[in-house]
Structure 1
Amino acid sequence: MGVQLFSPRGMMQPVPYHHVAVASGSRHVHVAGQISRDEAGRPVASGDLRGQVAQALRNTARGLAGAGASFSDVVRLTFYVTNWAPERIGDFMAGVDDVAGELGLPQPLPPASLIGVDYLFEPDVEVEVEATAILD
């Protein structure tokens, strides 16, 4: 299976992600929204967007690994962030950077969307991450 990530000429730059992913393969892996919880369901990094982004990405990596995938197979990431404001981008990206090497996150990221929401399903949850990967 191959994933090709790129940003065609003329698309907005710089951004911390590629605009396009082209993948060949027949198995789709969809990882449900992952949040900042440990395996026992206890909150991790309450009140800390940076820490929550990092933990949610770690949990996403575990979901991918369970299906035999990794971030190198990911063609789409969707981030939902509560109380989003542009000045939060530094903490958000710091959380990504904190785990990029550990998790093998490509830099720039695969195509990604960051969607601001009023709230997620529990009051301490500030970020949720969904991933789509393609495997042979």
Structure 2
Amino acid sequence: MVSTSHNPVDTQPPAPGFAHATSATGSRSIHISGQVGTDASGRVVEGGLAAQTTQALLNLGRALEAAGGKAADLVSVRFYVVDWDPSKFEALGAAGAAARVHYEFPETAVTLVGVAALFTPEHLIEIEGVAVAD
């Protein structure tokens, strides 16, 4: 798979840690359902938004591997964060750094959506993605 990030330099501000657009070539699309911060037993991890985000990213990586892909194959990711406000950005950044110890997530197209709630009140974040693999 070949993935290329695109950032229009004359018309939009720099994209710190993500790409404004991603193009990819490959033979297979993989759509990863929303992953939440639960461990292998289904329990929500303790430690708030940062811990749940790290776990959700690890779960995303594992789901992608189960489908025959790898983290580098990701072309877009969507974050759904309960009661989003900019003060939560630091927790997301720390979680991303922690997850990158296990998976080499690329700088890809990213969307962050603030939501009122997820399917259970314990979940603070849900992350879904699309990958293109060979």
Distance in 1 between residues matched to 2:31 and 2:16, nearest whole Å = 24
Structure 2: tracts of 5 or more residues without a match: none
**Structure 2 match to 1:102:** 102
Under a length normalisation based on structure 2, what TM-score does the superposition of the two structures give? 0.93
Distance in 1 between residues matched to 2:50 and 2:69, nearest whole Å = 25
Is the CA contact (8 Å cut-off) linking 2:82 and 2:114 kept in structure 1? yes
Is the CA contact (8 Å cut-off) linking 2:84 and 2:115 kept in structure 1? yes
Report % sequence identity.
32
Under a length normalisation based on structure 1, what TM-score does the superposition of the two structures give? 0.92
Three-state SS of the structure 2 residue aligned to 1:120 is coil
Greater shift after overlay, 75-84 or 11-20?
11-20
CA deviation digits over 1:90-130, x for unaligned, max 9?
11111111111321122xx2110010000000111000000
1:130 matched to 2:128: yes
1:34 matched to 2:35: yes
Three-state SS of the structure 2 residue aligned to 1:101 is coil
**Structure 2 match to 1:15:** 16
Three-state SS of the structure 2 residue aligned to 1:55 is helix
Which residue identity is paired with 2:121?
Answer: P
Structure 1: tracts of 5 or more residues without a match: none
Which residue identity is paired with 1:124?
Answer: E
CA deviation digits over 1:59-78, x for unaligned, max 9?
00000001111121111000
Distance in 2 between residues matched to 1:51 and 1:36, nearest whole Å = 7
Map 1:26-105 → 2, pairs under 5 A: 26-45=27-46, 48-105=48-105
